[in-house]
Amino acid sequence: MTTSRSKDSSELSDLTGLTELSELPNVDCDVVTVPARQGLEAVDILRRGVGDAVGPVLHDGGCDTLGFLVPPGTAAGWDVPGSVCTETDGCGLRLEPEPSGEGTDWLLPPEEVEPATDPVALREALDAAQRMIEAADGCV
């Protein structure tokens, strides 16, 4: 398993529970994990966008992080600040209606969305989400 971290992603918690699902066939994908606040904004942006850009999204039990399933190979070039992209090579990652990772659940279940989130659209949505958060926090 290969992980690509951006320079300021050290504050993200360990998200191995987001990639330990079982029961259905393996799927090849990578997982981009982000802080929940930024991730929720990005999901909204992606769902309002044109086309089918959003795939399955996981959230952890503490609601601290979200995990976007993206096409395999995304981790190799992922450099979005504040996020982590993990290459799974299909190892142990299985899509099922109920994730088995303790405290992990689907925000957007696999049966309701595209097979994976478009990484270009995700990068743009995360950037827009971060700008919105910074603007909102600056208004306090």
For residue range 42-81, list pLDDT tens digits in order.
999 999 986 778 999 999 878 799 999 999 999 999 999 9
* 32 — pLDDT class (breaks 50, 70, 90): very high
- What 8-state DSSP symbol labels residue 17? G
* 89 — pLDDT class (breaks 50, 70, 90): confident
Q: Which residues pair with 2 in a beta bridge?
A: 87
More confidently predicted of 22 and 9: 9
Instruction: Identify which of 31, 46, 60 has the alpha carbon closest to the alpha carbon of residue 113.
Output: 46
Instruction: Identify which of 85, 80, 78 has the alpha carbon closest to the alpha carbon of residue 31.
Output: 85
- Mean pLDDT of all residues belonging to the chain: 79
Q: Which of 7-16, 33-42, 90-99, 103-112 has the lowest mean pLDDT?
A: 7-16
Token pair 């998200």 in the structure block, residue: 15
Which structure tokens are listed for 49?
């966008």
Check residue 95 and give its pLDDT: 59
Is the confidence at residue 120, as pLDDT, over 50? yes
Find the length of the chain: 140
Check residue 98 and give its pLDDT: 55
Instruction: Identify which of 64, 72, 50 has the alpha carbon closest to the alpha carbon of residue 1.
Output: 72
Residue 52's H or E segment, with its range, is none
